[in-house]
Chains A and B, each alone.
Chain A
Amino acid sequence: MGLRAGKRRIWLKMLSASLLRRRSRVIAALAAITIGATVLSGMLSVYWDIPRQLEREFRSYGANLVLVPSGEVGVMGLRAMRRAASLLPADRVIGVTPYRYETLSINRQPFTAAGTYLDEARRTNPYWRLEGEWPASDEEMLMGADAAGHIGAAPGTRVRVSGRGRNNRPFAGEMTISGLVRSGGPEDAMLFMEMSMLESLTGTRGEANLVDISVAGSEGELRKMADASRESVTSVTPRLLRRVVGSETAVLAKLRYLVFLVTVVALALIFICVATGMLTSVMERSREIGLKKALGADNAAIMGEFLGEGAVLGIAGGLLGSFAGYFFAQLIGISVFGRSAAFEPLTIPAAVAVSVLTTALAALPPVRRAADIEPAVVLRGE
């Protein structure tokens, strides 16, 4: 039947006429919605992606989860440690670094030496400032800057290390200090060498006193991970480094709050522009509205027409805005956070939905005004 088609034809004609005939006003409203949606979708991208990236980056400021041996023993098996670490989500883990501590002497001065996997340590401790080089072979080691000061060592200095290992058996060896570590923490007084080197000096094997883990996640997620590993690997006790985690979470929360505020301002902009634009349009068209009412249009029909117009503007502005928002997000990401935000396809429907909703909300007061128009009054005028 052509009747439905007739209905659509008249509806479309009225809609397009009202959009096209007041072109400059429509363009102004559309521009406002587009700008609002741009900010909205850009902020959404920043909101989703940048904190995720920053979380990863924050993690690289050091371990946020440590594993220590359960009970009095003081050491744990590396196998148990690996098992506990394997319970963590692999894609979140930035580094797992076991440390085996022994006391060594250099020039009769005692130092705490840590055997570790230096590659891993480098990843877990990117904030270490290094003078010299990372060890290139097993015979090379790092020395804390304070410790080096005690014995007057510099990068390249060869030293003789000695001590008592397993079963109190004495050991000794020559090593080269490839670099000096400065962290501002206890590391500054320590030595760092490859785990295998320490093991061959002391005769121990497959043991660690502490495991530093750097993993991305919120405080709550971390607690869950810790609980999971505590339950299934009893010889290992996980501990959260809470102070660090808490402040990171606070920074991210502030960032999110900022994004939220900017978005609210953008939505207020949409609201004001659409509301005033439509109000003017209702007043300009009061006679036409009166005519439609005289022809039998009820308030629902009149309101539907204005809301339909608002919806078209909202959808168009939302689509344009989410397109522009992508570039906006890159701009913010790069200029503010020094990284580009990944494109999140969900921002498109989200931006469109929010624009349509805001526009519809903004259209409500003018639409009320339209419903209040008395045909007898407006049709009387000359």
Chain B
Amino acid sequence: MGESGPDNILELIGVTMDYGQVKALNDVSMTVRRGEWLSIMGPSGSGKTTMMNIVGCLDRPTSGRVILDGEEISRLGGRALTTIRRDKIGLIFQQFHLAPYLTAVENVMLAQYYHSLPDEEEAMAALSRVGLSERAGHLPSQLSGGEQQRVCIARALINHPMLILADEPTGNLDEANEHMVLDIFRQLHSGGSAIIVVTHAHDVGARAERVVMLEHGRIAGIVEGRGIHGHRHDDAHA
């Protein structure tokens, strides 16, 4: 812990986030290696989304340092954060968040639109990567939840981010769709992307190389390696 350098895509040092009296994150320190697949697990309210928002440049910590790709981002202004988020981060939300009036391919192109220029061919390629080339012209309302989440994944990877952040990407999906999403993550991972997945589900968390356990805004433990099946740890259902 604490060793920063070219090997680490992300480093948190003593990160604290206060919402009034609530300490959503309390002195959290950890690192994520380039190309690593990391899970974050923990009970509801333990600060997982808060951490993702800070790492995803959507929010700034109350104190502590966040170093992303060698650059300290914890004190940057809104505009600089926007630029970094656009260039380096791919975000996947639990509640999909697709523009309802844009088709699947246009939703993917929307990320290109704000990044550089929309390129339909590239967007189509991203859709076919998540197995949705057939549904490119459909509106989100015409897609199943799993399909919508795959559109979100295509959108998150369209600008080749070095870090993909997924906040409960499978929380609303059935098992088949969950497998499909995890399969895509595996491909992205083997393609060299670093992935941080927040999840309540043990089998999802178990796919990662390391699992960070959060409790009351603190790191309660980090489990190295695969196969936390059977490794008993509390989760949100408590």
Residues of chain A from 254 to 300 with CB closer than 8 A to chain B in the complex: 287-288, 291-299
Give the docked Cα–Cα distance between A338 and B159 (Å): 67
Give the interface SS of chain B, mostly helix, strand, loop or mixed. helix
A301 within 8 A of B: yes
Inter-subunit contact B102/A13 (CB<8 Å): yes
Residues of chain A from 347 to 382 with CB closer than 8 A to chain B in the complex: 374-376, 379-380, 382
> Which of B95, B109, B112 is within 8 Å of A382, CB to CB?
B95
Residues of chain A from 19 to 61 with CB closer than 8 A to chain B in the complex: 21
Which candidate, A1-9, A124-132, A203-211, A321-329, is the interface stretch facing chain B?
A1-9
Residues of chain A from 296 to 323 with CB closer than 8 A to chain B in the complex: 296-299, 301
A11 surroundings in chain B (CB, below 8 A): 113
A336 within 8 A of B: no
Residues of chain B from 79 to 119 with CB closer than 8 A to chain A in the complex: 79, 82-83, 85-87, 91, 93, 95, 97, 99, 101-102, 106, 109-115, 117-119
B155 surroundings in chain A (CB, below 8 A): 295
Inter-subunit contact B85/A296 (CB<8 Å): yes
A17 surroundings in chain B (CB, below 8 A): 99, 101-102
Give the docked Cα–Cα distance between A298 and B80 (Å): 10
A10 within 8 A of B: yes
Which B residue sits closest to A18, measured CB to CB?
A: B101
Give the docked Cα–Cα distance between A291 and B113 (Å): 13
B59 within 8 A of A: yes
Nearest CB of B to A291, in Å: 5
B49 within 8 A of A: yes
Give the docked Cα–Cα distance between A374 and B54 (Å): 13
Give per-residue flags for B21-59: 1 if the beta carbon is below 8 A from chain A beta carbons, else 0: 000000000000000000000000000010001001011
Give per-residue flags for B105-145: 1 if the beta carbon is below 8 A from chain A beta carbons, else 0: 01001111111011110000000000000000000000000
Inter-subunit contact A6/B117 (CB<8 Å): yes
| Tally of contact residues, A, Cβ under 8 A | 30
Inter-subunit contact B86/A295 (CB<8 Å): yes
Contacts A13-B102, A291-B99; A299 near B118 (Cβ below 8 A) = no
B93 surroundings in chain A (CB, below 8 A): 294, 379
B86 surroundings in chain A (CB, below 8 A): 295-296
Give the docked Cα–Cα distance between A2 and B119 (Å): 7
A3 surroundings in chain B (CB, below 8 A): 117-119
B102 surroundings in chain A (CB, below 8 A): 10, 13-14, 17
Nearest CB of B to A324, in Å: 31
Give the docked Cα–Cα distance between A374 and B159 (Å): 22
> Which of B106, B114, B115, B119 is within 8 Å of A13, CB to CB?
B106
Contacts A6-B109, A287-B97; A294 near B118 (Cβ below 8 A) = no
> Which of B97, B115, B117 is within 8 Å of A291, CB to CB?
B97
B119 surroundings in chain A (CB, below 8 A): 2-3, 6
Contacts A10-B109, A375-B58, A379-B93; A288 near B114 (Cβ below 8 A) = no
Inter-subunit contact A288/B99 (CB<8 Å): yes
B95 surroundings in chain A (CB, below 8 A): 379, 382
Inter-subunit contact B99/A297 (CB<8 Å): no
Give the docked Cα–Cα distance between A10 and B56 (Å): 25
Would you list 30 pairs from A and B whose C-beta atoms are within 8 A, ordered by A residue?
Answer: A2-B119, A6-B112, A6-B117, A7-B113, A7-B118, A10-B110, A13-B102, A14-B99, A14-B102, A17-B101, A291-B97, A293-B82, A294-B56, A294-B93, A295-B115, A296-B82, A296-B111, A296-B159, A297-B82, A298-B82, A298-B83, A298-B114, A299-B79, A301-B114, A374-B59, A375-B58, A376-B53, A376-B58, A379-B95, A382-B95
Binding site for A on B (CB under 8 A): 49, 53, 56, 58-59, 78-79, 82-83, 85-87, 91, 93, 95, 97, 99, 101-102, 106, 109-115, 117-120, 155, 159
Besides the known contacts A7-B118, A295-B91, A301-B114, 11 further A-B residue pairs in the complex with CB atoms under 8 A apart: A2-B119, A2-B120, A4-B117, A6-B113, A10-B118, A291-B97, A292-B114, A294-B85, A294-B93, A295-B114, A299-B79
Q: Which 3 A-B pairs have the closest CB atoms?
A: A296-B86, A6-B118, A17-B101
